Amino acid sequence: MKKENLNPLHSLQQQIKLGCERLKLDSSVYELLKEPKRIIEINIPVKMDNGNIQVFKGYRSLYNDAAGPGKGGVRYHPDISKNEIAALSGWMAMKCSVVNLPMGGAKGGIKVDPQLLSVGELERLSRGYIQGLYKYLGEKLDIPGPDANTNGQIMAWMTDEYIKLTGNYNIGVISGKPIELGGSNGRHTATGYGVSLIASEVSKKIGLDIKNAKVAIQGFGNVGSHAAKHLQDLGARVVAIAKRDYAIYDNRGIDIDDLMMHTSENKDILSFPNTEKISLDKFWSLDVDMIVPAALENAITATIAEKINAKIICEGANGPITPAADSILNQKNIIITPDILTNAGGVIVSHYEWVQNQLGLYWSQNEVLDKEKKQMIKSFDIIWKIKEDFNITLREAAYIHSIKRIAEIMKIRGWY
């Protein structure tokens, strides 16, 4: 088999190009959207606990800010690259536009395995990231938030460092903060909750009853665990959960509340009782109604796509399906709800956090969830209609909707 192109920036560029062609846009639009507006690389020196200095690579990419300030999380991972951060920032630009937010797209990251650092080293590294970039960040400039391997505590250190360096209490500069520091109710669970809403809406469209639908989830971090929890609340049966090297399985349905409790104390899900350990091969071939990839990019390659038997794939992670896998799954008539729509709940509530920070007024959990639900379902309905009107995939429909809006704003602003 031909080696697959796993470059996420190339797959993003392909989607943007296709969208521009379908919309018959001026070629300038693709020129403006094919790469980030700016991408900054920094070296972050950190004094380690043993007294030595170690230097870590950090990135921040602002893809497009036509519709508003840059918005996007910061990922800590040993394998990140400048190219990956560029692609992730582009997906953020598309995502913010798909759900009609007054924000552009950005993303950042540090090349590090945070598990190898002490708490003190992690704090100094996170503060160092802000020291290197604070001039390019701001409530009305570029707004970081959490992503894979970063959390509310890290956002709190970053916010504090920003306040110290600028002398201004502009806490809207970072999203995903703890509630005590101006975080929004509902932000922690927002992405997973949004995934469950999209899963439920698409199920209705194809006549699948979400109650008792069998679901398999890859990844049990923030997105995967909360998607699992909310899907279970809707009546779905989460029968399998995959980690990096294996999966656990129980055809009667895994109790997600118990598993969440278990993972808060144990790193490994393998010791969770009453489940069977299965191989990843078996996981991907399971006879389930729905799969939710909620780990990282390129999880579903062409080889894996051949094995999949599900009716629906809801992309909880960003870019989990390679372009080659995407065409195989489309040929198999498997409905894919694209990442830029499916996992937009997180950035929607990050936007609410930003609004609340500027107002100095805070909404209840129910108010936040209710607003998120309305916004997600409204966006889903728009994208579904475009898909039906033009007889295209949901992914193509989402890109068309997103690019059209950004192109209109760039035109009005005189960028082309």
Residues that bind ligand NAD (CB under 6 A): 146-149, 191, 218-224, 242-244, 294-296, 316-318, 343, 346
Q: How far apart are CA 358 and CA 168, in angstroms?
A: 13
Closest to ligand NAD by CB, 182 or 224: 224
Q: Please name which of 135, 87, 101 lies closest in space to residue 353, comparing C-alpha atoms.
A: 101
The distance of closest approach from Cβ of residue 371 to ligand NAD in the complex, given in angstroms and rounded to an integer, is 16
Smallest gap from Cβ 94 to ligand NAD, in A, equals 12
Nearer to ligand NAD, 79 or 389 (CB): 79
SS3 409: helix
Spatial strand order of the sheet with 214-218 comes to 276-278, 247-249, 237-242, 214-218, 290-293, 312-314, 335-337
Spatial separation of the C-alpha atoms in residues 322 and 388, rounded to whole Å: 24
Report, in Å, the least distance between residue 190 CB and ligand NAD: 7
For residues 112 and 242, which CB has a smaller minimum distance to ligand NAD in the complex?
A: 242
Q: How far is the CB of 296 from ligand NAD (least distance, A)?
A: 5
In contact, 104 and 63? CB cutoff 8 Å: yes
Least distance (Å) from ligand NAD to the CB of residue 321? 12
Residues 6+ apart with CB under 8 A from 223: 191, 192, 195, 294, 316, 317, 343, 346
DSSP 4: P
Kindly tell me which of 115 and 168 has the beta carbon lying closer to ligand NAD.
115
Q: Which two tokens stand for residue 259?
A: 């598993």
* Contacts (Cβ under 8 Å, ≥6 apart) of 389: none
How far apart are the C-alpha atoms of 203 and 289, rounded to whole Å? 9
Spatial strand order of the sheet with 142-146 comes to 38-47, 53-64, 105-111, 70-77, 142-146
| Three-state secondary structure readout of 241-288 | EECCCCEEECCCCCCHHHHHHHHHHCCCCCCCCCCEEECHHHHHHCCC
Which residue minimizes CB distance to ligand NAD?
Answer: 221
Per residue, what are the HEC states of 328-365?
HHHHCCCEEECHHHHCCHHHHHHHHHHHHHHHCCCCCH
> Has 107 been annotated as catalytic?
yes
- The distance of closest approach from Cβ of residue 189 to ligand NAD in the complex, given in angstroms and rounded to an integer, is 9
Residue placing its CB nearer to ligand NAD in the complex, 131 or 263: 263
Query: Shortest gap between Cβ of 182 and ligand NAD (angstroms)?
Result: 17
- We find the least distance from the C-beta atom of residue 215 to ligand NAD, in angstroms, to be 15
Q: Which two tokens stand for residue 22?
A: 């379908």
Phi, psi of 20 (to 5 degrees): -65, -40
Rg of the Cα atoms in the chain: 20
Active-site position among 107, 229, 311, 387:
107
Closer to ligand NAD by CB, 77 or 404: give it: 77
CA distance 107 to 147: 9
Q: Three-class SS string for 99-133?
A: CCCCCCEEEEEEECCHHHCCHHHHHHHHHHHHHHH
Considering the complex, state which of residue 76 and residue 407 has its C-beta at the smaller distance from ligand NAD.
Answer: 76
- The token pair at 79 is 């394998």
CA pair distance 73, 147, nearest whole angstrom: 5
Nearer to ligand NAD, 291 or 294 (CB): 294
Token pair belonging to 362: 């805070």
For the annotated catalytic residues, the residue numbers are 107
